[in-house]
């Protein structure tokens, strides 16, 4: 889930572990098959998310038309008929505060005043009267989509990835106004994301050729946004291999790993802080992780895939240096 025009809020997420010697590469210790992830290994990023605000006729059965979209806010292409779900939510935060909550994955369920969704089934438009919750409660747009009902209205497009996990494609704010148009004509400029990652933190060092590898992130105190790390939000482990020369080259692909990575392995780690055997992580097809190799760039990340996590940025991510 997580115009007119508002000032986009830039969130600078800083990581520990930057070198103390004026920028030289940190000294790393000889690797073992037991990978230990600490705050010093976590990446950093800056982000500026801008969502348009569209004024629409208050109390009207608005038509939401996303047939003019072709690229999500990560820059990945998609077909309008591939949208699996459209959601609309009234949220008790103003636009700027909501942008900050989206960037920081800190939106609380208690902030959502009301919520509805529609499954378009290969269509590329839907009316407010099509939106429901729990299968039979229809969006009461005549009384709810009116000025003063909530500080923000957020409408979002979603698509299930290959693992069946819903990923957000784009969002925008709506504002109910008397006498405005009753058609929301969505386009690719409605949401823009300027994401600048930094993979310069100390890498996790390991070795090639081991029988098994483990990963322990129990020492991590804070996520990339500087908030206390919550293992119940960090629910997915991803191991990605990129066919690039170095970490700097991997930065540009960080939000498009599904398009760029040559190998990806996933594991449900909800509530966990350690994985004793990384071969438990598998590809979408079920192939177990075979181990780290010395070619390309390896990344390990802990990500939040819950519906309240709008940001695609991993909570934890580190480069794995393989010796």
Residue ranges making up the domain that contains 60: 48-193
Whether 95 and 185 share a structural domain: yes
Neighbours of 194 (CB within 10 A): 11
pLDDT at 97: 93
Whether 213 and 81 share a structural domain: no
Distances (CA, A) of 144 to 124, 139, 181: 24, 8, 17
| CATH number of the domain that residue 123 is part of | 2.60.40
Q: Does 226 or 1 have the greater pLDDT score?
A: 226
- In sequence order, which residues have a C-beta less than 8 Å from that of residue 138 and are 6 or more positions away? 116, 129, 131, 132
Of 193, 226, 257, which marks where a domain is finished? Answer: 193
21-26 mean pLDDT? 41
**17 part of a folded domain:** no
DSSP designation for 20 = S
Neighbours of 261 (CB within 10 A): 21
Whether 91 and 177 share a structural domain: yes
**10 part of a folded domain:** no
Structural domains in the chain (count)? 2
Phi, psi (deg, nearest 5) at residue 119: -105, 110
Distance CA 198, CA 29 (A): 22
- In sequence order, which residues have a C-beta less than 8 Å from that of residue 21 and are 6 or more positions away? none
Of 193, 221, 252, which marks where a domain is finished? Answer: 193
59-65 mean pLDDT? 97
Whether 148 and 238 share a structural domain: no
- In sequence order, which residues have a C-beta less than 8 Å from that of residue 244 and are 6 or more positions away? 250, 253, 296, 297
Q: Is-contact 183 55, C-beta < 8 A?
A: no
**20 part of a folded domain:** no
Whether 55 and 186 share a structural domain: yes
Q: Which two tokens stand for residue 284?
A: 């979408």
**21 part of a folded domain:** no
Of 193, 211, 239, which marks where a domain is finished? Answer: 193
Give residue-wise pLDDT tens across range 134-161. Answer: 777 999 999 999 999 999 999 999 999 9
Give residue-wise pLDDT tens across range 304-317. Answer: 988 778 888 999 99
Give residue-wise pLDDT tens across range 287-303. Answer: 999 999 999 999 999 99
DSSP designation for 73 = T
Whether 232 and 315 share a structural domain: yes
Distance CA 175, CA 151 (A): 9
pLDDT at 7 over 50: no
Average per-residue pLDDT for the chain: 88
**2 part of a folded domain:** no
DSSP-H helix ranges across the chain: 95-103, 141-144, 247-251, 257-260
């Amino acid at each position: 889930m997580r115009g007119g025009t508002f000032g986009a809020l830039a969130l600078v997420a800083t990581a520990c572990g930057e070198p103390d010697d004026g920028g030289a590469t940190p000294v790393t210790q000889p690797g073992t098959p037991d990978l230990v992830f600490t705050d010093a290994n976590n990446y950093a990023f800056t982000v500026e998310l801008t969502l348009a605000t569209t004024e629409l006729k208050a109390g009207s059965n608005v038509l939401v038309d996303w047939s003019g979209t072709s690229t999500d806010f990560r820059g990945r292409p998609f077909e309008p008929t591939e949208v699996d779900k459209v959601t609309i939510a009234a949220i008790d935060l103003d636009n700027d505060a909501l942008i900050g909550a989206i960037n920081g994955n800190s939106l609380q369920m208690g902030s959502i005043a009301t919520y509805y969704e529609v499954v378009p089934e290969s269509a590329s438009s839907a009316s407010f009267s099509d939106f429901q919750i729990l299968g039979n409660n229809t969006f009461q747009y005549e009384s709810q989509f009116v000025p003063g009902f909530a500080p923000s209205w957020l409408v979002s497009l979603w698509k299930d990835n290959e693992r069946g996990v819903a990923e957000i494609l784009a969002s925008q704010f709506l504002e109910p106004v008397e006498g405005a148009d009753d058609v929301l004509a969505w386009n690719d400029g409605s949401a823009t994301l300027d994401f600048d990652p930094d993979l310069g933190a100390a890498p996790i060092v390991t070795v090639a050729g081991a029988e098994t590898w483990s990963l322990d992130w129990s020492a991590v105190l804070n996520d990339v946004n500087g908030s206390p790390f919550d293992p119940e939000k960090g629910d997915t482990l991803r191991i990605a291999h990129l066919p690039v020369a170095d970490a700097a080259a991997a930065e540009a692909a960080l939000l498009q790993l599904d398009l760029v990575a040559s190998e990806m392995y996933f594991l449900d780690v909800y509530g966990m802080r350690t994985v004793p055997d990384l071969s438990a992580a598998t590809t979408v097809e079920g192939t177990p992780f075979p181990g780290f190799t010395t070619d390309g760039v390896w990344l390990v990340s802990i990500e939040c895939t819950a519906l309240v996590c709008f940001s695609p940025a991993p909570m934890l991510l580190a480069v794995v240096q393989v010796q």
